[in-house]
Amino acid sequence: MADIGLRRVTPGANDNATGVATLLSLAHWLAASPPARTRVILVSAGSEESFMEGMVRYAERHFPELPRDRTKVICVDTVGSPKLLLLLGEGMLGIRDYSPSFHSFLMDCARDVGADVYDDLRFRNATDGLIALKAGFDAAMLGSADEYRIPTNYHWPTDTADRVDYSTVAEAARLCARAIERIDAGS
C-alpha cells in the first residue's frame, strides 16, 4: 500500500481498462441478444486499490436484494495479459478459496470457447471478487498473466493501451458470454 501511495497514478490500461472493455463488449452482446431467463447485472465499481471501496459500497446497497442461491459473480480484472487466469482463491491476510463447482463450470466454459486458462493460481492480493465471495455468493475472479504468471505492466507507468493483448480481452468477453448462455440454458 505504501508503494501505491508513493507513486504517481499509472495509466491503467491493463489494470483495469481491460475489465471495462470486457463489460462494454458484454453489454453490446446482451443488448443484441438478451438471455431469456437470466438477469445480468454489469458493474464497474471502481476504487479497487483503495480496499475495494466501490464494490463494498455496491455490496452494502445491492447484495441484500440478490438471491444467494442463484446469483453468480464473475470479477473481471486485468485481462489484457497474454493468457487468462481463473483464480482458485485470493486474499491479503489469508487466502479464501472460490467455489470449486463454479470454478469448474467456468473452466468448462473456457474449453467451450477454446480459451487457454491458468487455473491453478491463488493471489495474495484482493480484487472485487473477494467481496462477493465473503458475502456468500458463488464468485470467481477472471484475470490474466504472462508466462511468469504475473499480470503484465501491473501498477507500472508502462500499463498503456499499446501494451494490452486485445485478443485476451476478447477471450474474456467470450468466456463470460458463454457462461451467461449456459446459465440461461440451465446447464
Task: Write out pLDDT tens, residues 63-115.
Answer: 999 999 999 999 999 999 999 999 999 988 899 999 999 999 999 999 999 99
| Cβ(85)–Cβ(121) below 8 Å | yes
**122-123 sheet: strands from edge to edge:** 96-97, 89-90, 122-123
pLDDT of residue 41: 95
Which pLDDT band holds residue 11 (cuts at 50, 70, 90)?
Answer: confident
At residue 126 the predicted structure's pLDDT band, cuts being 50, 70 and 90, is confident
In the prediction, which pLDDT does 2 show? Answer: 67
- What mean pLDDT is reported for the chain? 91
The topology under which CATH files domain 2-185 is Aminopeptidase (3.40.630)
3-state secondary structure of 73: strand
Whether pTM exceeds 0.85: yes
Report residue 77 CA to chain centroid gap.
Answer: 4
The domain locations on the chain are 2-185
Q: Judge whether residue 52 has pLDDT over 70.
A: no
Q: What percent of the chain has pLDDT over 70?
A: 94
